C-alpha cells in the first residue's frame, strides 16, 4: 500500500512539474492544495487537522470550486512546509517549492557534527527521505559523528522543530550560541527555564533561559542504518 501511495505521489509530481513547465498552464487552487496534500502523504482530513484547521470543510470548498486559497490557509501550510512557495499557493505563479526542488519527502542533511544542524535551511538538502508516520517532522539528519549521546553513528534522526515555550520532556537536539548537542530537556520552575541533562552536558545538567536557545528539535524517531 505504501509503495502504491509513493508511486501515485511520484506520478502526480511529474504532472505538477509538466504543468509548471508549460507557461500557458496554471494549476487551479484545488490542484495546488492537492499537490501539497499528496506530498504530505496524508488524507485530506488528516492534513487539515495537521495544519490546524478545525474542519476539513475549508479544503473541500476549494475542491468544489467555491473558494480560492486564502492567505490564512497559505500561511498555515507554509508554517508546516516552509519549502513551499507562498506566492505559488496563492496565485499559481512560479514553482511549487521555493528552490524548485521536489516537494516529496523530508529534507535530508548529512551532518558530521551536531553544529552541522546550521546547514538546515541555509544549504540545499543532500536528498529527501519519506517515511510514513513522521509527516509532522521538519527535517532528517544523518548522525555521522561519535559522541556520548547514545545514538549510533550513521543513524537517521527525524526532527521536529518546536517552540521553546512549549517543551514536553524528551530527547532534543539543542542549538545555542555556545554549543549544539543532543540531550534530555524539560521545562522547570515558574520562569519556564529549560533543564538540559545528559552525558553531553558539562557536569551532567544545566539550567538555561529559553531566550538563549535559538533552535530546539524534538527527536521524533531514530532510524538505524545497517550496512550490508
Structural domains of the chain, with CATH: 2-91 (1.10.260), 106-223 (2.10.109.10)
Q: What are phi and psi of 156, to 5 degrees?
A: -95, 125
| Averaged pLDDT, groups of 10, the chain, 228 residues long | 44 46 68 87 85 92 95 91 88 82 76 86 78 80 85 90 85 89 88 86 80 90 72
CA–CA dist 190, 17 (Å, integer) = 51
Strands 170-176 and 213-223: antiparallel
In the chain the first and final C-alpha atoms are separated, in Å, by: 26
Amino acid at each position: 500500500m505504501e509503495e502504491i501511495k509513493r508511486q501515485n505521489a511520484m506520478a502526480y509530481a511529474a504532472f505538477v512539474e509538466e504543468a509548471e513547465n508549460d507557461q500557458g498552464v496554471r494549476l487551479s487552487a484545488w490542484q495546488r492544495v492537492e499537490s501539497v496534500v499528496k506530498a504530505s502523504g496524508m488524507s485530506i482530513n488528516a492534513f487539515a487537522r495537521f495544519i490546524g484547521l478545525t474542519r476539513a470543510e475549508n479544503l473541500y470548498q476549494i475542491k468544489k470550486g467555491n473558494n480560492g486559497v486564502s492567505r490564512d490557509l497559505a500561511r498555515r501550510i507554509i508554517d508546516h512546509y516552509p519549502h513551499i512557495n507562498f506566492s505559488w499557493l496563492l496565485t499559481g505563479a512560479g514553482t511549487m517549492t521555493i528552490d524548485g526542488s521536489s516537494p516529496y519527502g523530508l529534507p535530508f542533511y548529512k551532518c558530521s557534527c551536531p553544529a552541522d544542524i546550521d546547514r538546515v535551511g541555509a544549504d540545499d538538502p543532500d536528498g529527501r527521505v519519506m517515511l510514513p508516520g513522521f509527516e509532522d517532522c521538519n527535517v532528517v539528519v544523518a548522525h555521522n559523528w561519535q559522541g556520548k549521546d547514545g545514538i549510533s553513528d550513521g543513524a537517521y534522526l527525524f526532527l521536529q522543530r518546536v517552540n521553546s515555550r512549549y517543551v514536553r520532556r524528551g530527547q532534543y537536539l539543542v542549538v545555542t550560541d555556545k554549543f549544539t548537542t543532543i540531550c534530555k530537556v524539560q521545562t522547570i520552575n515558574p520562569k519556564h527555564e529549560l533543564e538540559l541533562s545528559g552525558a553531553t552536558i558539562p557536569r551532567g545538567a544545566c539550567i538555561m533561559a529559553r531566550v538563549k536557545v535559538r533552535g530546539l528539535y524534538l527527536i521524533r524517531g531514530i532510524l538505524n542504518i545497517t550496512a550490508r
